[in-house]
Chains A and B, each alone.
Chain A
Amino acid sequence: MKFFPGCMIHNRFPGIERSLFFVFEKLGVEIFPLKGSSCCPAPSISKSVSVELWKEIGIRNVRLAKNETIMTACNGCYTSLHEISQIFNEGDIRHVVEYLHSEIGIERIKKSVEKRLPVRLAVHYGCHFFRPSKHKGFESPERPKMLDELVNAIGAESIDYKYKFMCCGGGGGVRAGATEVSHDLLERKMDAIAEKDVDAIVVMCPLCLNQFDVGQSELNELRGKDYRIPAVHYVQLLAVAMGMDVSLTGIERHSVIEQNFIEKLVRGES
């Protein structure tokens, strides 16, 4: 199996990658980096400009794996490579969250937890994991439960909030091309999350992570907000629950850091 990092994990949140390799080693699944792989490229922004470019760069990445399964931890990379592998009828593309849920299973995850994490989390799925749903064949794209179940499996609690299934505002080239719109959308989500007493936001995509983490700091700076809710990728939490040192997850290198949350992760359930 090969790990496809994409730009956001390789170049922004490498702690996700460190965590994923730890988790797979613990689970006894062999996985190696897909060397020489490039930008996936990002689905909507690339297709908006040139579908041919999107397909040709994408299939190059798929073929690098030489028919080994490609594991992604990003919704954008997953959607691009998955769609392209279907167009060319080549390759096997997985997202770590659906892989953990369906191949490893909740029961085995529970058993592999060394330290339960007593934290309250706002779960955010991100758009491109489920949607477009036509070729993916998962559970309902309206009210998915997969990530909530995985969160519960490590002793954490998923807290419902308004706009839970709405976009973070980071996708479609909007963060890059129309930052103010992207901030407006994030502000709606953040206001809804801030109403609830949560320790952190948990995502399954580094683009969403960037939006919640860096975008949150931008809202604090530009709009006088005072949000202080850390954002993390699920595999970072799972790695901690399976015994990895918190410092290796990179969580302390994110933009929004709360000591109270870090302490809960370090301590675990007492």
Chain B
Amino acid sequence: MADNANELNKCIQCGTCSASCFSGRVTALNTRKILMEHIAKKRSLGEFDTVWFCVTCYACQERCPRGIPLTDILISARNELVKEKGLPGRLKNAFKSLQENSALVPAKNEHIALRKELGLELYHSQFVDSARNEVGEIVRKYVGGIIK
């Protein structure tokens, strides 16, 4: 986080980030405020759950006239929030699926049937035992504790 604070020192408070934010038009997500009032000042994001409303479209980062990697910084702030408060419930389920199926989006019977209908093999690691277990182990190693 220390590097992020250094990067954010380059900010000239122009507001291009917030003006470019598509999600900020429909939610209370305030990119500039999160970045400058919390991350730059190393204040806890605390109740700033709006950080999860960022679609990571990278429009703010592309347009920042000071070249600050804003979206990347926001993503690393989520990391900190996860350490502090754990994963939001539905994301927890997604990572449980990654651990069990080696897929954030696993196939159900209807999708398996459609593949067969189109003459396609089942070769995603979800269907290859050794590969699925290998990926499941990686997930367990890094996030096993927070998705229990």
How far, in whole Å, are A198 and B98 apart by their CA atoms in the complex?
A: 37
Contact B26 A60 (CB under 8 A): no
The distance from the CB of A173 to the nearest CB of chain B, in whole angstroms, is 6
Q: List the A residue with the shortest CB-CB distance to B139.
A: A53
Among the listed stretches B7-15, B32-40, B103-111, which one makes contact with chain A, having 4 or more residues with CB under 8 Å of it? B103-111
Q: Mark B40-79, 1 if CB is under 8 A from A, else 0.
A: 0000000000001111111101100000010110010011
Q: Cα distance A56–B25 when bound, in Å?
A: 35
Q: How many A-B residue contacts, CB cutoff 8 Å?
A: 179
Q: In the complex, what residues of A have CB within 8 A of residue B84's CB?
A: none
**A187, chain B: closest CB distance, angstroms:** 8
Which residues of A sit under 8 angstroms from B125, Cβ to Cβ?
A: 36-39
CB distance from B69 to the nearest CB of A (A): 8
Once the chains are docked, how many angstroms separate the CA of A44 from the CA of B94? 13
Check: B87 CB closer than 8 A to any chain A CB. yes
What string of 1s and 0s marks CB contacts (under 8 Å) between B99-135 and chain A?
A: 0001111110001001100111101111010111011
Best-surrounded residue of A163, A181, A253 (most CB of chain B within 10 A): A181
Chain B interface residue bracket vs A:
35 or more
| A142 contacts B56, C-beta separation under 8 Å | no
Task: Pick from B79, B82, B87, B94 the residue with the most CB of A within 10 Å.
Answer: B94
Is A232 located at the chain interface by the 8 A CB criterion?
Answer: no
**Is the beta-carbon distance between A45 and B91 smaller than 8 angstroms?**
yes
B135 adjacent to A166 (CB under 8 Å): no
Q: A35 to B94: give the CA distance in the assembly, Å.
A: 23
Residues in B whose Cβ lies below 8 Å from that of A172: 54-57
Known contacts A17-B120, A33-B123, A38 near B62 by CB under 8 Å: no
Q: A33-B121, A49-B82, A253-B114 are in contact. List 13 more A-B contacts (CB 8 A).
A: A7-B126, A11-B106, A12-B105, A33-B123, A38-B126, A39-B104, A41-B104, A49-B143, A50-B143, A53-B142, A128-B56, A141-B62, A167-B22
Which 3 residue pairs of A and B lie closest in terms of their CB atoms, listed nearest first? A131-B58, A172-B56, A11-B107
27 sampled A-B residue pairs with Cβ under 8 A: A10-B115, A11-B126, A12-B105, A14-B115, A36-B128, A38-B102, A38-B103, A38-B132, A39-B135, A41-B98, A49-B79, A49-B82, A49-B91, A49-B95, A49-B143, A49-B146, A50-B79, A128-B56, A167-B22, A169-B55, A171-B55, A172-B55, A174-B53, A176-B91, A182-B55, A185-B22, A248-B118
